[in-house]
A = this chain, B = another copy of it.
Amino acid sequence: MERAYRLIISCPDRVGIVAAVSDFIAVHGGWITEAHHYTDPDSQWFFMRYVVRASSLPFGLEGLKSHFTPVAERFRMQWCVYDTGINKRVVLLASKQAHCLSDLLYRWRSGEMAFDIPCVISNHDELRSYVEWHGLDYRHFPVEAADKSIHFAAVEQALAEARPDVIVLARYMQILPEQICAQYPARIINIHHSFLPSFVGARPYHQAADRGVKLIGATCHYVTTELDAGPIIEQDVVRVGHHNTVEDMIRLGKDVEKQVLARGLRFHLEDRVLVHGNKTIVFG
User: Which A residues are closer than 8 A to B by beta carbons?
Assistant: 15-16, 18-20, 22-23, 25-27, 29-33, 35, 37-41, 56, 98-99, 102-103, 106, 110, 112, 129-130, 133, 195-199, 211-215, 217, 231-237, 241-243, 245, 251, 254-255, 259, 262, 276, 278-282, 284
Q: How far is the CB of A24 from chain B (nearest CB, A)?
A: 8
| Distance in Å: Cβ of A9 to nearest Cβ of chain B | 13
Q: Which residue of chain B lies nearest to A39 when distances are taken between CB atoms in the complex? A: B33
Complex-state Cα separation, A15 to B98, whole angstroms: 40
Tell me, rounded to whole Å, the shortest Cβ–Cβ distance linking A15 to chain B. Answer: 6
Nearest-neighbor residue (CB-CB) of A40 within chain B: B242
What distance in Å separates the Cβ of A170 from its nearest Cβ neighbour in chain B? 13
Q: Is the interface of A mostly helix, strand, loop or mixed?
A: mixed
Q: Which chain B residues lie closer than 8 Å to A112 at the CB level? A: 251, 254
**Given A106-B98, A110-B98 in contact, is the A212-B18 Cβ separation under 8 Å?**
no
Query: Would A215 and B195 count as touching, CB distance under 8 A?
Result: yes
| Cα separation A23 to B254 with both chains bound (whole Å) | 39
Which residues from chain B contact A20 at a C-beta distance below 8 Å? 26
Known contacts being A98-B110, A195-B215, is A280 close to B242, with CB within 8 Å?
A: yes
Q: Establish whether residues B15 and A18, one from each chain, have CB atoms under 8 Å apart when the complex forms.
A: no
A278 to B211, CA, bound (A): 7
What is the CA–CA distance of A195 and B214 in the complex, to the nearest angstrom?
10
Q: What are 20 A-to-B residue pairs whose CB atoms are below 8 Å?
A: A15-B29, A15-B30, A16-B26, A19-B27, A23-B23, A32-B37, A38-B243, A103-B106, A195-B198, A196-B211, A197-B198, A197-B199, A198-B198, A212-B278, A214-B232, A214-B235, A215-B236, A215-B237, A242-B276, A242-B280
- Central interface residue in A37, A214, A236, A276, by most chain B CB within 10 Å: A214
Q: How far is A33 from B13 in the complex, measured between Cα atoms in Å?
A: 10
Q: How far is the CA of A30 from the CA of B237 in the complex (A)?
A: 37
Cα distance, A130 to B102, chains bound together (Å): 12
